[in-house]
Amino acid sequence: MRAGGWLTGLVVVAVVAGILTATHRPASTAGPLADSRQRNVAAISAFDDGQPDPPHVIPPPKPSPSPAPKPPATSSGGGSAPPRAAAPSIVVRSTQQALINKDRAAHGLPPLSWSNCLSNVAVSNAKRIAAQGYLSHTTGPQVDLGCHLGNHAGENIGYWSSGINDAQLNTMFMNSPEHYANIMGPYHYVATAWVVASNGYGYVAVEFS
């Protein structure tokens, strides 16, 4: 079972944690992270029992009021189709892996190797949370996330309102006991992926096995 909560602020951290084994540890709530100078919005969540977190949408800061836009000029010619929303941008890279391995090395732990299978899982989950607009974990995963890499699995997910920011998310993960436990966990493999949604938010999934 999981116990948790949210503390809201300009930057919100929602944490639910653990390692997928025969038993699960209860979650605790990390303190708020805020920086009024940046006015960014962020949230993180750690994998526990594979069940999705309840919907929790954190709206971005409201912009200052602006004058109403003028209606577009009409023409006698045929109208053009409205522009399509930009497709999400998918970025698979090892920056988060390098930060994780640096953190592990500082505590005398071996590095985690990159897994292409976990990379596919990370892309899928980052795309999913970007599309739904809130954080939730993989529903009903196998013990090893289907990659047959061991008998443990973990997942850290989060978003940052200004797009991709590996250093910021790594700091948030390391400052949360549950995410820290995944980073320092008994894993051998890792993969990460970012998806930047059309609103500019960057969603990251970090998969461990």
Domain boundaries, the chain: 113-208
Give the integer Cα–Cα distance in Å for 111 and 136: 27
> Residue 175: its pLDDT value, please?
97
Which residues, other chains included, contact 66 with Cβ-Cβ below 8 Å and sequence gap of 6+? none
> Residue 156: its pLDDT value, please?
94
Buried b (16+ CB within 10 A) or exposed e, 184-206: ebebebbbbbbbbbeeebbbbbb
> Residue 36: its pLDDT value, please?
25
3-state secondary structure of 20: coil
pLDDT one digit per residue (tens) for the chain, 209 residues: 333 333 222 233 333 333 332 222 223 333 332 222 335 555 666 554 344 433 333 334 344 445 555 555 544 444 555 445 455 677 777 799 999 999 999 999 999 999 999 999 999 999 999 999 998 887 545 566 788 888 888 999 999 998 999 999 999 999 999 999 999 999 999 999 999 999 999 999 999 99
> Residue 3: its pLDDT value, please?
35
CATH 3.40.50.150 matches 113-208: no
